[in-house]
Every structure is written in C-alpha cells, then in structure tokens.
Amino acid sequence: MATFFNQAQLSYNGNIINSNVATGELTETLAVTKTATVDTYSRNSDITYVISLVNSGSAPLTNLAVTDNLGSYTVGTTTVYPLSYVDGSARLFINGVPQAVAPTVTAGPPLTFSGVTIPANSNAIIIYDAVTTNTAPLNPNNTITNTVAVSGGSIVTPVTASETLTASNEPDLTISKSINPSTVVENSPVTYTFIIQNYGNTAADVTDNVIITDTFNPILTNLAVSFNGTPWAENTNYTYNTATGLFTTNAGQITVPAATITQDPTTGVNTITPGVATLTVTGII
C-alpha cells in the first residue's frame, strides 16, 4: 500500500495559484510471500523454496516476471551468489492446481521466472529447488537472505519478499576406510583405518554419540584398537563379537573437531579444512 500526492496549478493574467494537495492511497492487488522448507543450511544443502503470489484484483495479472536474487551479497567489490537454481525443478500451481507448463526459467544468476499469469482473485505458487554454492557463508550465525521481486504486467512498483536461513551449527561428518596390507596372507596381521572428517562449523563431541560399526569378514582375532593414537580397551571403548566379527564403538567415545572455514576476501569462495579423527583396528585374519 502506497500514498500518493497531487497538486494542480491555475494561472491567469500572470498570476499563479496552487490548489490544495490531494492525497490518495494506492492499494496493491498483488501480495507476495517467500518461504523455505528448512530453517538452516550447510555445504551442499538442497533447499526447496515456495513463492506465493495472491492477486486480489478483479483483473488478471499477466506476463509477470518473478526475479530471485539467489541470496546475492558483496565480498570486497565482487557480487557472489550463495545459491544456485536446480535445473528443471520449477513447478507452477494456480489455485492449487498443478500446471502442465512451468514458467520460463532463466537460471541466472539472478534467477527469473517469466511469463507468469495470475487470474483475477486467484493465487499462484512457484516451487523450486536451490543448492548452496561454494560462496555460501558457513561459519556460526552466518545467514543467507534470499529476496524475490515481482514486476511487469500492470504492476507499477515491483513487489518483494524475503526469506532468511541460518548456517547450521552442527557437525557434518564423512567416513572412509582403508586396509593395509591390501593383499593378506592367511593368519597374518591386517590393519583397518577409519578416517572421520568433520566439514561442519561445530565439533562432534561426546553428546553427539558418534558410533562406528563394522562386521569384519573374514573375522579378526587378537584385536588392537586405537583412537587418534591412544590405545582403546574392549568394553570400555568398544565391543567385539569374535563369533560374528561385529565391531562397535561405544557411544560418546568418538569426537571430531570442527572444520576451519575461511572465505577468500576477494572471490568469496570458501576453503574448508575438515577436522579429522582416526580409528585403527588391527587383528589377525
């Protein structure tokens, strides 16, 4: 809703007289909201966005352009985009009915849906997916604010809406496993090494109850287990079933430090150095 002002002028015989100022109020017929299906994001997050457009007017709104800035912000003198549109993900609904033809998409950045028409006294919903890019800020309390602007047709001033997501403050773990030697003589020692990496901005601590399970086949005997070079004791730190080969670490024994996340001050690209923890299991095969 916007207020506008207008004043007339009367001139005669070299005289100029101004009228009073008439005040009016322009009511927008289009309302826009934007929401995400999640509240937080991390590296490689897939986020579903919903843009809701309501036409409360008695005439259709035609040929609208819906432009999404994909969370753009400035790093130094560079504009970066922490979100990227997932190709082919856009869906259009009119009054809740899915449309056979999706709006025309220009992936950008910025992202634009063009040729959108909303019938009189109707609503349209655009649903699409985006993924975080390598310029998404990932440190604690960082945010992405994504703004959409609707223009075109009979709209005088673009109508906007925004959604803000917060960087997830939790571990982001991966695990890899290797064997040494890879060619083993029967009744010989073999070592399994498990590398746990944390790409998240928060350490995995004892309350996260990180557990590794593995069934060794062939079954190992005479186990020697260590975590980050410190020997572990059976039952205290882990359990092992010599009949089945099932190995399980106890809850609260594995911790992994947080990643170190730095952002290039010129390009905005993140460099993530993961926190690392190492578990080794040696036995006779």
Using a CB cutoff of 8 Å and minimum separation of 24, what contacts does 117-120 make? Answer: 117/60, 117/61, 117/62, 117/63, 117/64, 118/30, 118/53, 118/54, 118/55, 118/60, 118/61, 118/64, 118/94, 119/55, 119/60, 119/94, 119/95, 120/55, 120/57, 120/58, 120/59, 120/60
- Give the model's confidence band at 51: pLDDT under 50 very low, under 70 low, under 90 confident, else very high: very high
pTM here is: 0.82
Average pLDDT taken over every residue of the chain: 94
Which residue in 29, 27, 49 sits closest to 37, CA to CA?
49
Q: Is pLDDT at 27 greater than 80 in this prediction?
A: no
Instruction: Name residue, tokens 């979100």.
Output: 83
pLDDT beyond 80 at 52:
yes
Same fold, 26-167 and 173-284: yes
What is the sign, positive or negative, of the torsion defined by CA atoms of 136, 35, 159, 105?
A: positive
Residue-wise pLDDT for 184-214, tens only, equals 888 899 999 999 999 999 999 999 999 999 9
Q: Which residues contact 133 (CB under 8 A, 6 or more apart)?
A: 81, 82, 83, 84
pLDDT at 4: 61
Q: Locate tokens 């190709």: which residue?
A: 87
Q: 16: how many CB neighbours lie within 10 A of its CB?
A: 8
pLDDT band at residue 28 under the 50/70/90 scheme? low
Is residue 25 over pLDDT 70? no
Can you give the chain as a three-state secondary structure string? CEEEEEEEEEEECCEEEEEEEEEEEECCCEEEEEEECCCEECCCCEEEEEEEEEECCCCCEEEEEEEECCCCEEECCEEECCEEECCCCCEEEECCEECCCCCEEECCCCEEEEEEEECCCEEEEEEEEEEECCCCCCCCCCEEEEEEEEEECCCCCCEEEEEEEEECCCCCEEEEEEEECCCCCCCCEEEEEEEEEECCCCCECHHHCECCEEECCCCCEEEEEEECCEECCECCCEEECCCCCEEEECCCCECECCCEEEECCCCCCEEEECEEEEEEEEEEC
Residues 55-70, mean pLDDT to the nearest whole number:
95
Is 60 within 8 Å of 114 (Cβ atoms)? no
Q: Quick check: 56 pLDDT over 70? A: yes
Tens digit of pLDDT for each residue in 74-122? Answer: 999 999 999 999 999 999 999 999 999 888 999 999 999 999 999 999 9
The top-level CATH class assigned to 26-167 is: mainly beta
Q: Look at residue 60 in the predicted model and tell me its pLDDT.
A: 94
CATH 2.60.40 fits 173-284, yes or no: yes
User: What is the residue extent of each domain of the chain?
Assistant: 26-167, 173-284
Residue 24: its pLDDT value, please? 58
